Amino acid sequence: MDSRVIADLILHLGRIAAGDGLAGGLTPVQWAGLRFFARANRFSRTPSAFAAFHGTTRGTASQTVKGLVARGVLRQTRSKSDGRSVRLDLTAKGRAILAGDPIETLVRAADALPAGVRGDFSVTLQRMLGCVVSQTGKPFFGTCETCVHFEGGSCCQEGLPAHVCGFLNEPLMDEERNGLCINFASGKPGSPRTPGVCAGQQ
């Protein structure tokens, strides 16, 4: 299949899945924000991390965040260590709205694929994402379990957290292992492909 056709299909899928207009009372960019803050780990639930992930300016991201906070779907908390920074968490209202996410049609389409196909497709998309990241200079977000900074194995040692982020020297709860992180660094076996993987660039 022609590579341009593949790119067009990916874009077309995204446009259809995102829905038209105010799905659930939110704009497409507000939906993008809600999804991000639902998936990001606690170190990445900030306006600047959302701006980096969404590929937009901090000013635009800040306006999106303000709209979500005003609607009561995000809760803003000042950092105890740095009064200038904030952390954003979904409220109960936000989680309820997320249950009606218009991209659920795309989720169901992925669920309908055979397990082996889903795995191969996920790897392929990760490789494509890594290639695009390397060409555009955008940050690559990944999850803790496949990050070089992820430290585990102390679950049986009394007084020590089960997992730790070596980059920030902060404990990680078990449920945070699959959260998106702006501090992600590839390198572990099985981790997503990151910058430098484009065939024409090697």
Query: What pLDDT, on the 0 to 100 scale, is given for residue 50?
Result: 94
Q: What is the pTM of this model?
A: 0.81
Q: Are strands 170-172 and 180-181 parallel, antiparallel or unpaired?
A: unpaired
SS3 for 10-44, per residue? HHHHHHHHHCCCCECCECHHHHHHHHHHHHECCCC
Query: What pLDDT, on the 0 to 100 scale, is given for residue 142?
Result: 85
Give the end of a domain, one of 55, 75, 104. 104
Residue 192 phi, psi dihedral angles, 5° rounding: -60, 145
Range of the domain at 167: 115-201
Mark whether 168 and 92 lie in a shared domain: no
- Checking if the pLDDT of 62 tops 70, the result is yes
Q: 82-86: list long-range contacts, CB under 8 Å, 24+ apart.
A: 85/46, 86/46, 86/47
**Number of domains making up the chain:** 2
Mark whether 97 and 121 lie in a shared domain: no
The rounded distance, in Å, linking the Cα atoms of 154 and 164 is: 9
Mark whether 174 and 131 lie in a shared domain: yes
Mean pLDDT of all residues in 122-148: 85
Query: What pLDDT, on the 0 to 100 scale, is given for residue 90?
Result: 96
Mark whether 124 and 79 lie in a shared domain: no
Give the end of a domain, one of 48, 81, 104. 104
